[in-house]
Chain A
């Protein structure tokens, strides 16, 4: 099967107080602050996963996006290829603040562990029992063509049956997640134009 045959099986957006799947809004919440919004999202989807509350903002965002897309699938060989602009800077700043105090500077291991952007993929892997490949890229903006190249290779070499790709960025209170599953069967053709259009959909 060549890359021309792969499809976008499903996609989701989490931004501007809304969570949508395949273009349909599943949940919206008017909370101004992300932590209130994402907690409401967690509750709305009856997630029941207490570890969620230990996660940092980036991981909570990625986790809920993956939850929406992977909840009803049996497929386990799903690779994760995520990307963003801010890496784990939101949490990095917290760790930096903790160690910069003039007196009583104590680093928190629970904060430090999240000072890597790929941890969010670890959380998704644990939740959905995925022993698959994870790669986290940093770009100035969403780059569907690069993610697709990479995903194509994983699918062609049969390293994965499906690939969860996308953009999950959290920085200075602003959040933007666009995740999609690439598979052999799906709704939409896999091409850069289509992905860019979907990403930009409000």
Chain B
């Protein structure tokens, strides 16, 4: 039993041209969480407009690059390939068909509506784009700018797509590559600690002999 309007689910489904996967869970305190996944990311603005009409508040946007599901038979495959047994495995896909290969993006818009959390999930392929929700929801401004500097994802139609936290001199998509700590802190840390650790390790080794 949620505190959402009875026609909530139907309104969202009617707004979307593609399919929606909606699940709702309710905890012991009677607080519900709704997960609504879009099959087509082009439905994003239409569905978000309905949420705006319901007076939802956009609380947070999470972007991530979901890992590809574990392929358990990997080792076996390598052995088999020697014997010329070629197996073609289809790339796993999300609900809606975006390839789930570790490079595509999952963007979750966390709304608060009637005191419940409503999470709208959209997928975009690598180097893809999503429509900006900033024209609809003012609180989307900073989160979208942050995502654009952390990932190679763009929000089309963002009114002010400048860098937010990172300096312009930093190369884009910082979340998509490993940055060594010494580079991150501009080599501002000393090696004092490591000298101590090495000295201690050496002392222990000598003691052990």
A binds B: no
